[in-house]
Amino acid sequence: MQVSIACTDHNLKGRNGDHGKTNTTSPNVVNAARAKFRTVAIIARSFGSFTPRHHISLKESTGKLTGMKYRNLGKSGLRVSCLGLGDLLFLYFYMCVHVFQVAEQLMTIAYESGVNLFDTAEVYASGKAEVILGNIIKKKGWRRSSLVITTKLYWEIVRAMTYVINQGMSMYWGTSRWTAMEIMEAYSVARQFNLIPPVCEQAEYHLFQREKVEVQLPELYHKIGVGAMTWSPLACGIITGKYENGIPESSRAAMKSYQWLKDKIVSEDGRKQQAKLKELGHIAEKLGCTLPQLAVAWCLRNEGVSSVLLGTSNAEQLTENLGAIQVLPKMTSHVVSDIDHILGNRPYSKKDYRS
């Protein structure tokens, strides 16, 4: 398996099933840890030749031309583009016949814009997403050492991730949709048994979902160095404004498999969100940008976020979202304060209450 980070994901698969078998050859000392952090079944395809290094070469020269910013992932030595490309392969496998061509187009736009972080998962399209990603990288002739590829596994175990890293299959590992308590438990297990702890958490973060990334993860960063890689900056398309007048037939919310999204949009809370988005649209207009660009730039203004993963369905959307880099310098404290006033959902930490 050729990855830079392996993120374990609690919600990719249910907890039922025979996935928690113990390894009789493993030291007894980790049996207690295994009860919580279950075995990871790693089934992956090679993304190309790779030699483990202490650090990787980045496309920062391209970034200087496009304005792309690079940030450290937590307190690790890994630098990633502040915008990454997310679940396009998973989405397009079901929505587009010409999945390879579309995926190649989007990946090329992202790469030429300075993006070096590409996120996928082993379960996306039953493994085909990883294959397509690897084939595109091979076809384009991109240096593997210039890319950061993240994939997601399940049935997680700290010792297994340590083995994967020590074998040169991965450089770091992180978590996805874990609670702060679970991350701390993994860190404690790693320290207790001299294993490698996680370096990042993938968490949902957008205008309407803030507490975990703004309150819980900063505390973990300062305590154990875990960084934040966020996804769904547009809340599954809600923040684009396209649901202001109902559910368009061509939208994701119109699909049977996304009934939960439709229910969310037409609910009372959903209508309140649309009203707030209308007000935020005026701020975007003043800044000379679109609402999606404002939303992505708002995520990036949080210095605790290492990278924001973009999930787009066409080249126009990706180009628009990448334009958020140009909006970032306009996110002054005054603008952020105006946004907070409209949203009315700014979370407060214990420190805020004490002060």
Q: Spell out the SS3 assignment of the chain.
A: CCCCEEEEECCCCCCCCCCCCCCCCCCHHHHHHHCCCCCCCCCCCCCCCCCCCCCCCCCHHHHHHHCCCEEECCCCCCEEECEEECCHHHHHHHHCCCHHHHHHHHHHHHHHCCCCEEECCCCHHHHHHHHHHHHHHHHHCCCHHHCEEEEEECCCCHHHHHHHHHCCCCCEEEEECCCHHHHHHHHHHHHHCCCCCCCEEEEECECCECHHHHHHHHHHHHHHCCEEEEECCCCCCHHHCCCCCCCCCCCHHHCHHHHHHHHHHHCHHHHHHHHHHHHHHHHHHHHCCCHHHHHHHHHHCCCCEEEEEECCCCHHHHHHHHCHHHHHHHCCHHHHHHHHHHHCCCCCCHHHHHC
Residue 50 token pair:
């790779």
**Alpha carbons 219 and 326: distance in angstroms, whole number:** 29
Asked if residues 175 and 182 have their Cβ atoms less than 8 Å apart, the reply is yes
- Catalytic residue, candidates 70, 111, 124, 154: 124
Q: What angle do CA 233, 238, 150 make, to 5 degrees?
A: 30
- How far is Cα 6 from Cα 119, in angstroms, rounded to an integer? 10
Active-site residue, 187 included: no
Annotated catalytic residues are 124
